[in-house]
Amino acid sequence: MTDMRVALVSGANRGIGLEISRQLARLGQMVALGARDTAKGEKAADELRTEGLEVPVIALDVADPASCAKAVSDVAAMFGRLDVLVNNAGVFLDTTETGQQRALSVSPNTVEQTFRINTLGPLCLIQAAVPLMKQQGYGRIVNVSSGMGQLSEMGGGHAGYRLSKSALNALTRVMAAELASQPIKVNAMCPGWVRTSMGGPGANRSVEQGAETAVWLATLEEDGPSGGFFRDMKPIAW
């Protein structure tokens, strides 16, 4: 086994996750492209292969704790290590079909489903990844969060998404505290408003811009931060 860093990116078949995978692979990391639909994952991997980037596809449905554990053990079986975990997969289920999905009216099912993917998926993946990271004495965990989860700027509407991302931010702090004595860094970031299926065509950022801070956090040097929340590589308020 070489010293090549091995990364697992969830929700990597499109959008920001695909771009994070591309940028990490360009930096020389072995990137396992996590996708809940492996056919879609293979299509994305083919796109990267045409650019000379070889990426294996790993089946990963973050809503399923067993799938999270299996994805990490699949990566470990393939490469004997896991250095970087990017919790990128996410959903925004507070659609406009019933208005803004205010907290006053949102269905608990919508909130629960959102939490399974946006919050519990990252929890399960971190739980599976940390023992490997401890073993090898290195780990970088990046939680792709959102400004919509910032308590300091919290507003109404999109209740499921906001709650799930605030909880993801809390998870970032809790994990960073529990891992403070370890060479494992845990950070959250906001990509800004990005032109993807989730962000829509009117968003003001490209996927390249959206991926930049996650890639920076995934490749932090030893003296880099842990337990922080960042946008454009600068700390932002929780």
Binding residues for ligand NAP (CB under 6 A) = 10-11, 13-17, 36-37, 40, 60-63, 88-91, 117, 144, 146, 190-191, 193-194, 196-199, 203
For the CB of residue 218, give the shortest distance to ligand NAP in the complex, in Å: 14
CA–CA separation, 31 and 3 (whole Å): 14
Q: In the complex with ligand NAP, which residue's Cβ is closer, 130 or 148?
A: 148
Give catalytic status of residue 138 as yes or no: no
Q: How far apart are CA 99 and CA 151, in angstroms?
A: 22
- Supply the minimum distance, in Å, between the C-beta of residue 135 and ligand NAP: 26
Whichever of 138 and 231 has its CB closer to ligand NAP, that residue is: 231
CA atoms within 13 A on the CB side of 114: 24
Pick the closer one to ligand NAP by CB: 11 or 160.
11
The amino acid at residue 47 is E
Residue closer to ligand NAP, measured from CB, 92 or 138: 92
For the chain, how far is it from start to end, CA to CA, in angstroms? 39
Closest approach, Cβ 71 to ligand NAP, in A, equals 9
Closest C-alpha to 19, from 208, 206, 201, 192: 208
Q: How far apart are CA 184 and CA 66, in angstroms?
A: 23
Dist. CA 96–CA 34, nearest whole Å:
28
CB closer to ligand NAP, 139 vs 199: 199
Mapped onto helix, strand or coil, the DSSP state of residue 119 is helix
Q: How far is the CB of 118 from ligand NAP (least distance, A)?
A: 6
Residues in contact with 58: Cβ distance below 8 Å, sequence separation at least 6, in sequence order: 8, 32, 33, 34, 35, 41, 71, 74, 75
Q: How far is the CB of 223 from ligand NAP (least distance, A)?
A: 27
> Which one is catalytic: 79, 115, 138, 161?
161
Nearest-angstrom CA–CA distance, 131 and 74? 14
User: Which of these, 146, 152, 183, 151, lies nearest to 165 by C-alpha position?
Assistant: 146
Q: Which residues are catalytic?
A: 161
